[in-house]
Structure 1
Amino acid sequence: MADKLGVKLTLVQVGSPDRIPFVVADKVDVVMGAMSRTSERAKVIDFTAPIHSENYGIVTTDAKPFAKLADLNSESVTLIQVRGTTAIPFIQKNLPKAKLVLLDNYNDRDRALAQGRGDASFDGIDAVAYRLKIFPAIKWKVVATPEYGVTYSSFGVAKGNYSVRDWLNIALYELHTAGTVEAIWEKWFLKPMDTKVPVTPYF
């Protein structure tokens, strides 16, 4: 994206809770990284067209019996989640009996599950395979939950920054239609997107 725009790329690594505040405070121009578009977030920042889809599911181990979302709604279940992510409001509303442990990032989440400090996590599962590989001794189980539906992740920009948002939309259209986004996705996440992004020239 930076090459297409002809600018120098500066990467600023932030945790999930800090993504939106960094854009709002003008600490970054664009935020990215599996950030689902939601109506609540769109009150605070503007979103581009989707970069990728996100399907949700249960990340756990073979030792656990979970087969559907309802199985998590128990006082005996501890869910390990990342602060500031889309799944948390859903869990609080629909799985209120589960204990909730909030950590700062996905690396900490995965490590906590591997160490047995929780039973499962409910979150996006499309890109989980490459992260879980670093725990080869753990027999992981990933259970899709299609009843949750599909979300779409986008770049986020400051409210009213239409010039940058519109340029990003055009660049994304070019990258999607050229197959570049899919190729990068498969390279890093080890499989095609579970749900293709419907690409349109209209934004």
Structure 2
Amino acid sequence: MKKTSLFLRTALAGAALFAFAGAAHADLLKDIREAKKIRIAVDTGSPPYGFVDDALKPVGSDVETAQLLAQDLGVALEMVQTTSPNRIPFLQTGKADIVVASLSVTPEREKVVDFSTPYAQILAVVAGPKAVSIKGFDDLQGKRVATTRGSNNDRVATLGAKGAQMVRYDDDATLVTAAVSGQADIIATSPAIVNAVLGKSPQKDLVTKFVMQTVPLGIGMRKNEPELKAWLNDWVTKNTQNGKLTAIYKKYHGG
């Protein structure tokens, strides 16, 4: 009886484990199609990837990319406002289905989330006053360098400029305000943010000093969603080949 009981308990435990494993593998793509809605996290505080126009309408390259994606998937778009530090947590906590928010593909991030085939690229740069000689990381030693908390720019600058004093702002919009107001003279960011600063303050003494890194941008998603990842990869490939993603990027970034 003891052996039979032990076998039964073991079998039941194995069945429960199998059932749990099956439930753990959800098909998010199927769920999105059944709900007829996709929740895409977009950072509208990161021009020109995402920002709010004079009519208080979200616009930008990532906004239009998200709109095109939802349209091609045949579902409604629910845009979820996020910031740089919240992009991956929003995926992990289920607040968003995917992230289209200038999310750089890095080895660290690939440990916790999956990425689509890159749909664009972004430069990580250091910008500062024209009169200040900055040619590389060594020239940042002892200087205050402002950046956006949780961004790839933050990571690259922190690792490279070990002797610098890093000053972190919660989002790109706050970083732009700090640079325009003179609170931040040297910034580790993207060319788009440098242009945003100069757009608000054309007389600002700010130029790009050097490129820290060139990295691809991917659509972020939770791990273990093979159907969704396959669809997104196919979507990026098709819309790169037909020129739609390139047209969106050029519209907001030039080139």
Range of TM-score over shorter length:
0.7 to 0.9
Retained in 1: the 8 A contact 2:137–2:160? no
* Cα offset, 1:68, TM superposition: 2.8
Retained in 2: the 8 A contact 1:130–1:188? no
1:35 aligns with 2:103: yes
User: Which residue of structure 2 lines up, in the alignment, with residue 135 of structure 1?
Assistant: 201
* Cα offset, 1:45, TM superposition: 0.8
Q: How does 1:76-155 map to 2 (within 5 A)?
A: 77-125=143-191, 127-128=192-193, 130-132=195-197, 133-145=199-211, 148-155=212-219
Task: Work out the CA distance in 1 between the residues paired with 2:172 and 2:179.
Answer: 10
User: Which residue of structure 1 lines up, in the alignment, with residue 139 of structure 2?
Assistant: 71
* Cα offset, 1:139, TM superposition: 3.2
* Cα offset, 1:64, TM superposition: 3.1
Retained in 1: the 8 A contact 2:100–2:219? yes
Task: Work out the CA distance in 2 between the residues paired with 1:98 and 1:129.
Answer: 20
Any unmatched runs of 5+ in structure 2? 1-68
The aligned amino acid for 2:150 is: G
Task: Work out the CA distance in 2 between the residues paired with 1:102 and 1:128.
Answer: 15
Retained in 1: the 8 A contact 2:172–2:193? no
User: Which residue of structure 2 lines up, in the alignment, with residue 196 of structure 1?
Assistant: none
Task: Work out the CA distance in 2 between the residues paired with 1:172 and 1:178.
Answer: 10
Task: Work out the CA distance in 1 between the residues paired with 2:241 and 2:93.
Answer: 33
Retained in 2: the 8 A contact 1:58–1:69? no
State which of 35, 41, 46 in structure 1 corresponds to 2:114: 46
In structure 2, the CA distance between the partners of 1:96 and 1:129, relative to structure 1 (3 Å rule), is closer
Alignment deviations for residues 70-97 of structure 1 (CA, whole Å, 9 cap, x no partner): 211x21x111111111133333332121
* Count of residues in Structure 1 that have an aligned counterpart in Structure 2: 186
The aligned amino acid for 2:240 is: H
Alignment deviations for residues 129-168 of structure 1 (CA, whole Å, 9 cap, x no partner): 55221222313211332xx442111000011112212111
1:169 aligns with 2:237: no
State which of 108, 118, 125 in structure 2 corresponds to 1:57: 125
Task: Work out the CA distance in 2 between the residues paired with 1:115 and 1:54.
Answer: 25
RMSD of equivalent CA atoms = 1.7
Task: Work out the CA distance in 2 between the residues paired with 1:88 and 1:69.
Answer: 13
% of aligned pairs identical? 25
* Cα offset, 1:63, TM superposition: 4.3
Alignment deviations for residues 27-81 of structure 1 (CA, whole Å, 9 cap, x no partner): 1011012111111111111100001112222122334332333211x21x11111
- Larger RCO (alpha carbons 8 Å, 6+ apart): 1
State which of 239, 242, 245 in structure 2 corresponds to 1:178: 242
Any unmatched runs of 5+ in structure 1? 193-203
Task: Work out the CA distance in 1 between the residues paired with 2:91 and 2:193.
Answer: 26
Structure ranking higher in helix proportion: 2
Q: Secondary structure at the match of 1:150?
A: strand
Q: Which has the larger radius of gyration?
A: 2
